[in-house]
Homo-oligomer: A and B are copies of this chain.
Amino acid sequence: MLIVKKFGGSSVANKERILNVAARCAEDYKRGIQVVVVLSAMGDTTDRLINLAHDINPNAPKREMDMLLATGEQTSVALMAMAFHGMGIPAISLNAFQVVMHTTSTYSNARFKRIDSERITHELDSGKIVIVTGFQGVNKRDDVTTLGRGGSDTTAVALAAALRADACEIYTDVEGVYTADPRVVEGARKIKEITYDEMLELATLGAKVLHNRSVELAKKYGVALVVRSSMNKASGTTVKEVTQVEGMLVSGVAVDKNTARIAIMGVKNEPGIAFKVFDVLAKGNINVDMILQSIGRDGTKDISFTVDKEDAKEAVALLKDNQARLTIESIKEEKNVAKLSVVGAGMQTNAGVAAKMFEALYDVGVNIRMIATSEIRITVLIDLEDVDIAMRAVHNKFIDD
């Protein structure tokens, strides 16, 4: 039996926590299970490194940022290996070069292309616990890449797939996936089982428990994912293809505050203009989420869309660079917005979910700015200040009811 276990930065933030993680992994190892441990950088290391870099060069090239940030995970894995040795358990740390974790070339947002399993398999077969750096890879020029925030989840799932592991356990500081953020919604409950699709929608929409690409990858390769606490032994949430129906229309309510709305106004009503706008953004590697297009008074178009907050500045700059060509009259950027979503596989066969959600929001006086839907999700863009009241209202309507 082979299990990949991923621990985030707060789980390895200091000596005591590193020893705690080692002790937990040792239990499975002593039961004869082969263990691969994937780690993030310790505590706030990544933020500290980013600040160091920005202090020297606020526009540091992404290649060098990745070279810098990759040191964080390498520190974690080396220290963890030392912790295992201290307990008398053979262990070895491996970075992305050593594994090798091949990725695309896009710095700070790379994707795995292929993972060589030989070295890890060799070390596992020689009786060692193998500790692998999360978050990072190597591109075809042998340069260091990183996967973007939360990428260690993806590393864990990708390794689980490559090694055909029996399970991939993601350890966090919460006990699993909840129906809503328990810090905001009193009645929020832990979800025992959830489908990949539901989890994917929740992850994409800001439930920070799992990185969305890790869920995509888990679905693609059928990796059994478990989200559980690094602090206690509660059973956590299992993510899999089909779950036992718990009779709930909606599995969870998610909020994403990391979003900004950009509106471009007065665009000529010509074929292909919308394509050109989003092509400019795509070439700048900016992900656009919700899109709303409307015809203005004088026959011109207004297009508004949402992007991640950190991309907003660059998105506006790119649009300004192409303002004439794209026939844009004016550009507006708004950061005090948030996305609120309800997710549930039950939605597919049940009409009226949207109406029920809008009713809940109307009841508490929350204004809806934009709407987007998928088969198992409804997302609305609302004002940032309305987030908590909106989340409680919607959770109450669908889950607590």
Question: A residues bordering B, Cβ < 8 Å?
Answer: 15, 18-19, 49, 52-53, 55-57, 59-61, 63-65, 67-68, 70-72, 74-75, 77-79, 81-83, 85-86, 92-93, 95, 97-98, 119, 142-144
A143–B49 Cα distance when bound, in Å, is: 24
User: Is B93 a contact of A67 with CB atoms below 8 Å?
Assistant: yes
Q: Which of A63, A70, A75 has the most CB of B within 10 A?
A: A75
A79–B61 Cα distance when bound, in Å, is: 10
User: Is A60 a contact of B77 with CB atoms below 8 Å?
Assistant: no
Using A15-B56, A55-B15, A97-B142 as known contacts, say yes or no to A61 and B77 having CB atoms under 8 A apart: no
A177–B82 Cα distance when bound, in Å, is: 39
User: Is A64 a contact of B52 with CB atoms below 8 Å?
Assistant: no
Q: Which residue of B is nearest A74, CB measured?
A: B71
Contacts of A86 in B (CB 8 A): 56-57, 59-60
Contacts of A55 in B (CB 8 A): 15
Contacts of A92 in B (CB 8 A): 63-64
Using A49-B75, A64-B93 as known contacts, say yes or no to A82 and B70 having CB atoms under 8 A apart: no
A64–B61 Cα distance when bound, in Å, is: 30
Q: Which of A18, A79, A144 has the most CB of B within 10 A?
A: A79
Which residue of B56, B68, B79 contacts A56 across the interface (Cβ within 8 Å)? B79
Q: Which residue of B is nearest A66, CB measured?
A: B78
Using A55-B15, A79-B53, A98-B143 as known contacts, say yes or no to A85 and B60 having CB atoms under 8 A apart: yes
Output the least CB separation between A350 and chain B (Å): 52
